[in-house]
Structures are given as structure tokens and as C-alpha cells.
Structure 1
Amino acid sequence: MIDPSAGDPDEHHTHQFRNDLNAMIMALHAQRYALERGDQAATLENLRRMERAVQRLLALVETRGAHPGRKKIG
């Protein structure tokens, strides 16, 4: 849970959302290169990284709606 005295929670959510989207984009790029090389181990690891990034994004979206007075994303 985010401590309200620690700053603007909206700014924290925006920053975290961007970080998770960037992680997803990096994993997608790595996935493309792994597929081009036929590297199955890298492909599996990239899929795991994408899965974790999507799970973090989903958790962030769900958490965002849990705060009173705030609109839920999505």
C-alpha cells in the first residue's frame, strides 16, 4: 500500500505504469530477436518476463481503483 505522506500516489502509479510498459516493450524486442535466432531458452525467459510485466500492470490497474475518490484505470 502506498503511504499518502510519501508523495502523490497518482504520480507513483504513472511512474510504475511506465516502468512496467517499458519492461514489456523490452521483453517483446528481446523475444523477437530470440525467435529470429531460434533460441528456445531465451524465448521462454522472455515470455516469463512479459507475463510478470503484464501481471504487475494488472495489479496496478486493480489497485488504482481501490482508493476512494479515484477513478479506476480501464
Structure 2
Amino acid sequence: MKLRTQLDLFEHDPARLAKAWRAAAEQALIDKQFSLSVRQERHDYYMAEAIRLEDLAALCNGCAAKAA
């Protein structure tokens, strides 16, 4: 069986992934199994990843616009 090491651009769209990370960040704030400080840490981590992915999506969109 061949091991896939490259992400599929259509399945791993940065904008779509950022949306999922933002949803995870919102959920992290209400997960009662964690203490308030842990919930906030998780939220901050997820938001940072969402912002990173949104920046990547904007960069990708900028490159596509220049190529056209």
C-alpha cells in the first residue's frame, strides 16, 4: 500500500481548514471537561492556526490572481 505524504489541494483547502479550526476554537471554550485556563489555551491555539491558514489562503488567492 502506497503511503500518501502530500495533501490533496481540493480536500485540504486552507480556507476550508481555517473555518474548521475556528469552529474547534469556539467549541474549546465550552468544553466543560477542561478547566477555564485550559479551555482558553486551547481556544488561543486553534485561533492561531485558523489565522495562519487564512493567511495561507489569502496568499494562495493572491498568487492565482497574478497568474491569470
Normalising by structure 2, we get a TM-score of 0.60
Normalising by structure 1, we get a TM-score of 0.57
Q: Which runs of 5+ in 2 are unaligned?
A: 1-7
- The CA distance in 2 between the partners of 1:13 and 1:66, in whole Å, is 19
Alpha-carbon RMSD: 2.9
Query: Where does residue 57 of structure 1 map in the other structure?
Result: 54
- The CA distance in 2 between the partners of 1:38 and 1:30, in whole Å, is 11
- The CA distance in 1 between the partners of 2:55 and 2:47, in whole Å, is 12
The structure where helix makes up a greater share of residues is 1
Structure 1 residue 16 corresponds to structure 2 residue 3 = no
Q: Which runs of 5+ in 1 are unaligned?
A: 1-6, 70-74
**Percentage of matched positions with identical amino acids:** 10
